[in-house]
Amino acid sequence: MSKTNWKKGGVCLLSLAFLLTACKGGSDKPTTADTAAKTPGGSVTVAGTDTEPQEEFTDAAPTSAQISDYKDDPQVEELARQVEEKHGIDIVYGEDVRRNFGNEEEDLRATAFTSAEGIKTAIRSVDEAFSAFPKGLTSQLADEKRGTLKVYLLGAVGQGDNAPESGAYPAFTDNEDPELFLAIDISPDGFINVPTVSHEFTHVIDFRMHEMGKFDDEGWNKLNPEGFSYVENYETYATGEFANKYSYTEYHYTPRKLTQPPEDVYFVYNYGTVSALEDRATLLEPLIIYRMWGHDTIAPGMYEFPHIQAKTEYFLKAIEAAFDLAPEDVEIWKNAYEKLANKTEP
Ligand SMILES: [Zn+2]
């Protein structure tokens, strides 16, 4: 089914004081067709394009339409266990989820989500998002202090005294938190903005590489245009000095005719000028979408720009060097990139 009408919801918030990242907004869900494509249907095919073997989880349709609470449906736990094992993560759902995140300045409060079907839908999407990355990467993000990556499947989330609102914080992580986690709002029906989760997951990888001392920021900054520095401001990036100057598109994947020479394209869209973290996460988005869904329509030709290539390759090589990944898994990832970069025959 075509997913060409897919749009990513909202913008990320990143409080530089404590690196809580959250992708806010999200009223523009995928089209009905996209949502229908993700509706549970008896079994789930694990995402994988290219040469990756596909895998199926046993997950029969509910025996009774009455099943609604996750506690009454043993399939929820079984599916969670399978996906946890596959990716080396902990999936926390239902009443067991954490309710408070952030700090005094920016505290987020989450509610519980308890629908069995919704939780199962969400778990399949988590699997889809993580499967787009090289195998074994998720489990290697764990460290002695913060442990295994926890994936919280939450109900609606609100900030401070504001009432929780579905989709207000689709996904977020916090590098300063004692826990290594990725929190996802799966209300009201288990639907997840999968690319947003992948975007946040890219931040988690990035944080971890920095903690390990395995990312050379100086080298990275040299890949940007002369005189450029990140705006470091989530409010002004779209109207500031660098807006539209070096970006492929203005906002997400809104098609646009370049107003600059191809040699002056350094960012996917203006949001990438906010910070190096957002730059790298947005640079990987088209590759991840391609890995998940097999199409490159969200930013066609993007990886053919020389500076986009240099930056993407720098980041991909850094990931490859920082983690212990099987060569065949890196190969799948690399082949996908090279195809999009038009470096191999189609
Ligand atoms: Zn972000």
Q: What is the pLDDT of residue 249?
A: 87
What are the pLDDT digits (tens) for 47-97? 233 334 445 555 555 444 445 899 999 999 999 999 999 999 999 999 999
Q: In angstroms, what is the span from residue 21 Cα to ligand 1's centroid?
A: 6
Ligand 1 centroid distance, CA of 286 (Å): 14
159 in Cβ contact with 106 (< 8 Å): yes
**Cα angle for residues 268, 271, 275 (degrees, 5° grid):** 105
Distance from residue 72's CA to the centre of ligand 1 (Å): 36
Cα(261) to centroid(ligand 1), Å: 27
Residues ≥6 apart with Cβ < 8 Å to 265: 246, 247, 248, 258, 305, 307, 308
Please report, in angstroms and rounded to a whole number, the separation of the first and last CA atoms in the chain. 21
Give the pLDDT confidence score for residue 127 in this predicted structure.
Answer: 96
125 Cα to the center of ligand 1, angstroms? 19
What sign does the CA torsion over 339, 47, 133, 122 have? positive
Beta-sheet pairing, 108-110 with 100-101: antiparallel
Exposed, middle or buried: residue 86 (CB in 10 Å: 0-12, 13-18, 19+)? middle
Please give the distance, rounded to the nearest whole angstrom, from the Cα atom of residue 274 to the centre of ligand 1.
9
Q: pLDDT tens, 256-267? A: 778 889 999 999
pLDDT in tens, 288-317: 999 988 877 777 888 999 999 999 999 999
173 Cα to the center of ligand 1, angstroms: 9
Mean pLDDT of the chain: 81
What's the angle, vertex CA 239, arms to CA 234 and CA 241, rounded to 5? 100
CA of 268 to the centre of ligand 1 (A): 13
What's the rounded mean pLDDT across residues 142-161? 93
Q: What's the CA-to-centroid distance between 282 and ligand 1, angstroms?
A: 8
Q: Is the pLDDT of residue 274 over 70?
A: yes
